[in-house]
Amino acid sequence: MFLSTMFKRLPKKPLLAAAALALALSLGAGRAGTHAAHAAQQYAAIEFYGIQFDAVDDGTTSCGPDSWPFCPTDTHAEVYANFAAAGTSGGYFARNLAGQGSQPGWCGSVRDWYASTAYGPCFKDVDGGLPGYPAAWTYTYRLGDAAVCTTPSRGAACSGSYQTNNNVIRMVVKPGDVIHVALTAKDYDWGSADDVLCNINATLNPFASGSGQYSLHSPWNGDGECHVLVNVSTYYA
Ligand SMILES: [Ca+2]
Ligand SMILES: [Ca+2]
């Protein structure tokens, strides 16, 4: 009887111990989970939302007998661009729009901003109005709709494929960090050096200014003028 009881009870002790250990692990895991939630990493999302080419001067269109001697300004450009964001805590991420200074011969005249990602390396046709017009009147070329590639640094060779919705840069931040953003858009010219249409360098401070949209202005330089719309927000993950 005694031996029988012992044999019956012996297995129970390890089970109880195992149950106690499981409970301890469960509580420990719970505490670890809570701790992890408190230590959640903070990020900034920097969306290069779009470019407004407020004015483009790509020379004069051919002067026909109807327009002479007033040769209209060609407000139509063949654009490529690059942009990047860098944060105080060390993050740096860059993107290219179209080939940087050259495009493959097969692009031909397919330069639609909204062309499929297969046309990622091809220049993009844009139109800009005349200098001084209100930005609100200007069409916004949305960078999420165009195929852009990831690149190690602005204007360098692509390190990833051209993709749409590739216009949001996310990076780790700490409270008080500032974020430097830069964008350059150029007009390709066949017979002369390419022209800068848009050149943005700005420091954003989402912790002082809060989340929202920044409209960054690149003033008229003789070839172009633009506003670049950048949405910035911070979040925990
Ligand atoms: Ca030009
Ligand atoms: Ca041109």
Q: Both tokens of residue 182?
A: 């830069």
- Which residues have a beta carbon within 5 Å of ligand 2, which is an ion? 58, 78, 187, 189
Give distance in angstroms: CA of 203 to centre of ligand 1.
29
* Among candidate residues 100, 129, 140, the one with its CA nearest the CA of residue 220: 129
Q: Which residues of the chain have pLDDT under 70?
A: 1-38, 65, 67-69, 130-137
Q: What is the SS3 assignment for 23?
A: helix
Judged by its nearest atom, the ligand closest to the C-alpha of residue 195 is: 1
The pLDDT, as a whole number, for residue 42 is 95
The pLDDT, as a whole number, for residue 69 is 67
Q: What is the dihedral of CA 12, 15, 20, 23, to 10 degrees?
A: -140
The pLDDT, as a whole number, for residue 19 is 46
Give distance in angstroms: CA of 161 to centre of ligand 1.
28
Give distance in angstroms: CA of 58 to centre of ligand 1.
4
The pLDDT, as a whole number, for residue 17 is 46
State the burial class of residue 119 (Cβ atoms within 10 Å of its Cβ: 0-12, 13-18, 19+): buried
Q: What is the SS3 assignment for 89?
A: coil
Report which residue type is found at 58: D
For residue 181, report the phi and psi dihedrals to the nearest 5 degrees. -120, 145
Q: How far is CA 219 from CA 25, 140, 213, in A?
A: 62, 17, 19
Give distance in angstroms: CA of 224 to centre of ligand 1.
9
State the burial class of residue 185 (Cβ atoms within 10 Å of its Cβ: 0-12, 13-18, 19+): buried
Cβ contacts of 233 within 8 Å, gap of 6 or more: 44, 45, 206, 211, 212
The pLDDT, as a whole number, for residue 204 is 96
Give distance in angstroms: CA of 53 to centre of ligand 1.
13
Q: What is the SS3 assignment for 159?
A: coil
Return d(Cα 223, Cα 72) in angstroms, integer: 14
Give distance in angstroms: CA of 171 to centre of ligand 2.
35
The pLDDT, as a whole number, for residue 10 is 41
Q: How far is CA 168 from CA 149, 196, 214, in A?
A: 12, 23, 14
The pLDDT, as a whole number, for residue 129 is 74
The pLDDT, as a whole number, for residue 63 is 74
Q: What is the SS3 assignment for 32?
A: helix
Report which residue type is found at 41: Q
Task: Output Rg (C-alpha) for the chain, integer angstroms.
Answer: 28
